[in-house]
């Protein structure tokens, strides 16, 4: 059942965010104490990254909770894009709080190197944080893996094309935390073995660069979603073909789909019907098309199909040749289903 599956998916994303928030709060406190005791630059970079992650998880939790509000007069398509906005702030938090501060710590340590000490404390804290981060990452990966498996795609493709930026951010931030913890541990080991603080400084710089890269990827994802990202060309072709195969449909000259929320699409387009269909038959055919579309893609929330007597300029044509859009079109009131 699509409704139940969607509710389960929202609950899984919320649980992932809450688990990550709790883990990051505990880790930030532990890393801050260890950084103060040992003087390790990589630990300070990890502390900054985890502190930023706390803010990130707060932004994500706000987005998850606010995006599930029901549609109203001011937001007739719902509040799904709230999650895009708060996820964008989360990506900025990773950029400024993790990446920039990590590089700043590395630069300061390179200019003013200092001796490290209390290595056992640092190792204990880092191993603990890596284990906790791996646990939180596993929780965050579960819904993404399930969605990838249900669509027959890879985990990488699912993260790249996902319409739930909160789940993507949890996975990317969690992966960076695990990798960052390993980098910090490796830097401390090399510093202890060589007696030189330089490896610890390099580890801090690498953590900062890793977070900068992650934030750029997340910013691009959220920018695309906020600007009205469509679906892939292959998915759009499949939608058109599915509608065209229904009885009474002659052609689908124009069709597009836009992401309006996490796992939420709006489909709009022109459809040419057989000339012997009367208005009730056309309406029945449209409702049937809506049903088969939603059965194939439960994420489709709104469908608007406009009957046209003959193909008219597509949206791409009207954007390229604006004069064509001023030509009178045959009167055919749209029949919609929401």
| pLDDT confidence tier of residue 287, bands split at 50, 70 and 90 | very high
pLDDT digits (tens, 9 = 90+) for 232-254: 898 999 999 999 999 999 999 99
Whether 21 and 113 map to the same domain: the answer is yes
**What is the pLDDT at residue 20?**
83
**What is the pLDDT at residue 21?**
85
**What is the pLDDT at residue 246?**
93
| pLDDT confidence tier of residue 309, bands split at 50, 70 and 90 | confident
Whether 306 and 181 map to the same domain: the answer is no
Whether 299 and 183 map to the same domain: the answer is no
Whether 189 and 302 map to the same domain: the answer is no
Write out the E strands in the chain.
Answer: 249-261, 264-273, 300-307, 335-337
Q: By residue range, what is the domain housing residue 242?
A: 233-337
User: How is residue 316 written in tokens?
Assistant: 């791409």
Whether 221 and 243 map to the same domain: the answer is no
Q: Rounded to the nearest 5°, which phi and psi values hold at 69?
A: -65, 145
**What is the pLDDT at residue 319?**
54
Q: Is 152 exposed, middle or buried (0-12, 13-18, 19+ CB in 10 A)?
A: exposed
Give the domain-ending residue among 190, 208, 226.
Answer: 226
Whether 63 and 81 map to the same domain: the answer is yes
pLDDT digits (tens, 9 = 90+) for 13-48: 788 888 888 888 888 888 888 888 887 777 777 787
| pLDDT confidence tier of residue 49, bands split at 50, 70 and 90 | confident
The answer to whether 126 and 184 have CB atoms below 8 angstroms apart is yes
| CATH, residue 248 | 3.30.70.1350
Instruction: Say which residue, 332 or 162, is predicted with more confidence.
Output: 162
> Which of 59, 98, 51, 44 has its CA nearest to residue 214?
98
Whether 121 and 139 map to the same domain: the answer is yes
Give the domain-ending residue among 162, 193, 226.
Answer: 226
Whether 203 and 276 map to the same domain: the answer is no
Give the domain-ending residue among 196, 226, 256.
Answer: 226
pLDDT digits (tens, 9 = 90+) for 75-118: 888 888 888 898 888 888 888 777 777 777 778 777 777 777 77
Measured distance CA(122)–CA(37) in Å, rounded:
8
**What is the pLDDT at residue 323?**
45
**What is the pLDDT at residue 312?**
67
* Mean per-residue pLDDT, 283-310: 91
Lowest mean pLDDT among 38-52, 70-84, 194-208, 322-336: 322-336
pLDDT digits (tens, 9 = 90+) for 127-183: 888 898 898 888 888 888 887 887 777 788 888 788 888 888 888 888 888 998 899
Whether 23 and 110 map to the same domain: the answer is yes
pLDDT digits (tens, 9 = 90+) for 203-237: 888 888 888 898 898 899 888 888 888 888 989 99
DSSP secondary structure letter of residue 276: T
**What is the pLDDT at residue 292?**
95
**What is the pLDDT at residue 266?**
93
Number of domains in the chain: 2
Whether 240 and 203 map to the same domain: the answer is no
DSSP-derived pairing of the beta strands 264-273 and 300-307: parallel
């Amino acid at each position: 059942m699509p409704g139940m599956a969607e509710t389960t998916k929202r609950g899984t994303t919320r649980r992932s965010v809450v688990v990550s928030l709790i883990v990051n709060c505990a880790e930030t406190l532990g890393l801050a104490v260890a950084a103060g005791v040992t003087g390790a630059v990589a630990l300070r970079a990890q502390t900054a990254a985890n502190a930023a992650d706390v803010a990130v998880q707060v932004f994500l939790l706000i987005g998850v909770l606010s995006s599930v509000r029901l549609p109203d007069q001011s937001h007739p398509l719902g509040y799904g894009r709230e999650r895009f906005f708060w996820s964008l702030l989360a990506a900025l938090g990773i950029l400024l709080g993790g990446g920039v501060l990590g590089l700043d710590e590395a630069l300061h340590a390179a200019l003013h190197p200092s001796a490290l000490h209390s290595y056992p404390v640092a190792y204990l804290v880092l191993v603990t944080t890596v284990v906790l981060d791996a646990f939180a990452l596993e929780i965050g990966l579960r819904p993404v893996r399930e969605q990838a498996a249900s669509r027959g795609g890879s985990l990488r493709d699912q993260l790249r094309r996902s319409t739930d930026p909160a789940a993507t951010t949890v996975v990317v931030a969690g992966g960076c935390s695990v990798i960052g913890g390993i980098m910090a541990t490796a830097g401390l080991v090399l510093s202890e073995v060589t007696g030189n603080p330089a490896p610890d400084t390099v580890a801090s710089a690498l953590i900062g660069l890793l977070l900068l890269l992650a934030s750029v990827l997340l910013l691009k994802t959220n920018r695309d979603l906020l600007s009205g990202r469509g679906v892939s060309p292959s998915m759009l072709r499949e939608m058109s073909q599915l509608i065209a195969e229904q009885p009474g449909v002659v052609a689908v000259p124009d069709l597009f789909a836009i992401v309006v929320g996490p796992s939420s699409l709006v489909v709009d387009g022109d459809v040419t019907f057989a000339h012997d269909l009367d208005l009730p038959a056309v309406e029945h055919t449209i409702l049937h098309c809506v049903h088969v579309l939603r059965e194939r893609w439960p994420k489709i929330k709104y469908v608007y199909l406009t009957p046209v007597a003959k193909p008219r300029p597509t949206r791409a044509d009207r954007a390229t040749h604006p004069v064509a859009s001023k030509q009178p079109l045959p009167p055919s009131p749209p029949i919609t289903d929401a």
